Structure 1
Amino acid sequence: MGYDWGIDKTGVLFAGYAGGLTPEGYMLWMYKGGGLELWQQWRQEEFDVISYPCAILGTDIFLHSTKRIQTLEDFQGLKLRTAGAWADIASRLGASTVVMSGGEVYSALERGIIQAAELGTPEINLPTGLQDIAQYVIVPGIQNPGGLLECQVNKEAWSELSEHDQKMLKLAGKLSVFESWLDSSAADLDAFRELQEGPNEIVELEQSFIDEAARVTREWAEEQATGDPWFKEVLESQTDFKNKLKTWSEYRLPIGSLAD
């Protein structure tokens, strides 16, 4: 859905962007916070298709970089491969953004055409070998904390299905979201541990960088909402639910907090 960026920016609110939700947050908003109803209504009204979630992605690695990035000052002028909404937001934060396909990233990074690249989650990135040509692995992936993937069905074909079959397809999509969360979360754990145990340096962004990125992203999102009723409605719903999640840490322990 993020690739609909050039057609309808509302898609990034579901597919994942810098101001979005974590995978767990997306699932809660989608199935318990009204996100699914907005998703389906938007797709039908604007694209004339039946759509429902069928997979979810974890948090991206922020950067594979040949330059150590930790502060906003470090980020200034960085030749960065990215795509979608983050290309706009990152440039506002001072990076020199370059949009290219994922297949071009390794060569561009190796030849110095770019200094850093964001691509995907640890599981997705590890097989690309970016860690072999870029010393620094920058986390957390504030540009894409999580995101959903969709299944689409032609409306005419959908109408020919029985009500039972329609329910079964939507239920299968929901189960697939949960299964993909389990699979990707486990795979990301293993992939990130491999990066930690390798020769790369894992660098955590300073909180001041994260806070400024969040502020600039809010400004960006408010701009997109101006004159775009669907973007505005989905953003407001997502923001309200995200604010509701602020109490999460008050009664829930973070994953891994009790590890030795």
Structure 2
Amino acid sequence: MKRRQMLTALGVGAAGAMLAGCNGSEPAPQAAGQGTVEKKKYRWKLVTSWPKNFPGLGTAPERFAEMVNQMSDGRLEIKVYGAGELVPALEVFDAVRTGTAEMSHSGAYYWKGKEPATQFFTAVPYGLNAQEMSSWLHYGGGMELWEKLYEPFNLKPFAGGSTGVQMAGWFNRKIESLEDLKGLNMRIPGLGGEVLKRLGGSPVNVPGGELFTALQTGRIDATEWVGPYNDMAFGLYKAAKYYYYPGWHEPGSTLEFTVNLDAWKELPADLKAIVQTATQAAHQSMLDEYTARNNMALNQLINDHGVQVLKLPDDVLKSLQEVAEQVTQEVAATNDQAKAIYESFKRFTEQVTEYHKVSEMAYYDARLL
């Protein structure tokens, strides 16, 4: 065989081998020094403050983990642990900070003992609703302030869902005046709990999984939780007589994903992008789910279980609002960072309220004509 024919035959044979390799289960042979480099795989633990697979709150981190696993083709695999499976419900912040787990899903207002300003990133009484809160975080400078607040704790935060405007809660006594709040033992965290305390009540922080028993046994007289969808799942209608609205204390409750900063820095850019995209998808998906499910659950509570749904008196709501403003200003005065967060939040609230007077609020008024 002539030299040119030999080289041609070798070239055709090599090409055929490569094509055959592409159609098989094994990778094609590579020249020395050019072998396939397997990308590093990461295995993360995600701890939550909610019971495993609890509707809305518990399913959001599961949905997030599934999205990450699929989008990364298994390169970043996240296993979700419900409250108490790996760490207690209200210890997930420290678990991620110290590296016991790489991620958590919870609510920032649970960490007020570590830093009072964390409360601004879950809910502010009479503050931003879900749509407005998300806008402040992602387009109003809120996320940058949140990241700066969490950096000393070795954490990176992401918005992790919203429940929308909540209900005021379940009560075993009627609330007809401010006097009825005095001596009231109520499960209510965050800034709302401090407002209740100023008006003579006793706020108690009870994990969600213990609410029914606490209410049924009289350990607490009342509890807020979320709204009809979650409240019905916990059977709270069996333990209390009256279901009050509106949720003055949590008008746009935002949940959080946190990531250990050291673990975050180890991820390559594409996996970071996947995590960020998946948190945003989970954030929106949770609000969509609550908007749909709360409506159906409220109908069931009223029509199937005879729940009395009552509105808090206007004078009570007005007093709660006045005290809430005092409380938020005091939190803002605790340090320079808290002040900067509060001022940003307040400024955005004032601006978006002016716009919503001629958009959202005007439309709702028109729809009810």
Match of 1:136 in 2: 242
Q: Taking every aligned residue pair, what percent have the same amino acid on both sides?
A: 25
Q: Would you say the 8 A contact 2:163–2:253 is kept in 1?
A: yes
Q: Which moved more, 1:93-102 or 1:250-259?
A: 250-259
User: Number of residue pairs matched?
Assistant: 259
**Residue 178 to residue 255, structure 1, CA distance change in 2 (3 Å):** farther
TM-score if structure 1 supplies the norm length? Answer: 0.90
Q: Do residues 203 (structure 1) and 310 (structure 2) align?
A: yes
How far, CA to CA, are the matches of 2:202 and 2:267 in structure 1? 49
Q: Which 4+ residue blocks in structure 1 deviate beyond 6 angstroms? A: none
Match of 2:359 in 1: 251
Q: Would you say the 8 A contact 1:5–1:85 is kept in 2?
A: no
Larger radius of gyration: 2
Residue 233 of structure 1 deviates from its aligned partner by 1.0
Match of 1:193 in 2: 299
Q: Deviations over 1:46-86 (max 9, x none)?
A: 21222221322222221211111143233233232323332
Q: Would you say the 8 A contact 2:237–2:307 is kept in 1?
A: yes
Match of 2:173 in 1: 67
Q: Do residues 32 (structure 1) and 139 (structure 2) align?
A: yes
Residue 21 of structure 1 deviates from its aligned partner by 1.8
**Residue 6 to residue 19, structure 1, CA distance change in 2 (3 Å):** farther
**Residue 111 to residue 166, structure 1, CA distance change in 2 (3 Å):** closer
**Residue 61 to residue 162, structure 1, CA distance change in 2 (3 Å):** same
Gaps of 5+ in 2: 1-107
Residue 259 of structure 1 deviates from its aligned partner by 6.5
Q: Do residues 97 (structure 1) and 203 (structure 2) align?
A: yes
Match of 2:254 in 1: 148
**Residue 51 to residue 114, structure 1, CA distance change in 2 (3 Å):** closer
How far, CA to CA, are the matches of 1:115 and 1:125 in structure 2? 16
**Residue 37 to residue 99, structure 1, CA distance change in 2 (3 Å):** closer
**Greater relative contact order, per chain length (Cα 8 Å cut-off, separation 6+):** 1
Match of 1:116 in 2: 222
What are the within-5 Å matches in structure 2 for residues 163-174 of structure 1? 163-174=269-280
Q: Do residues 42 (structure 1) and 149 (structure 2) align?
A: yes
SS of corresponding position for 1:100: coil
Select 1:23's aligned residue among 130, 133, 136: 130
Residue 169 of structure 1 deviates from its aligned partner by 2.0
Look up the equivalent residue of 1:194 and give its one-letter code.
Q
SS of corresponding position for 1:10: helix
Look up the equivalent residue of 2:261 and give its one-letter code.
K
Gaps of 5+ in 1: none
SS of corresponding position for 2:297: helix
Look up the equivalent residue of 1:15 and give its one-letter code.
T
How far, CA to CA, are the matches of 1:81 and 1:14 in structure 2? 20
**Residue 31 to residue 225, structure 1, CA distance change in 2 (3 Å):** same
Q: Which moved more, 1:110-119 or 1:171-180?
A: 110-119
Q: Do residues 76 (structure 1) and 185 (structure 2) align?
A: no
SS of corresponding position for 2:244: strand
How far, CA to CA, are the matches of 2:302 and 2:368 in structure 1? 17
Look up the equivalent residue of 1:249 and give its one-letter code.
K
TM-score if structure 2 supplies the norm length? Answer: 0.65
Look up the equivalent residue of 1:258 and give its one-letter code.
R
How far, CA to CA, are the matches of 1:234 and 1:216 in structure 2? 20
Q: Would you say the 8 A contact 1:64–1:138 is kept in 2?
A: yes
Look up the equivalent residue of 2:247 and give its one-letter code.
G
Residue 92 of structure 1 deviates from its aligned partner by 0.6
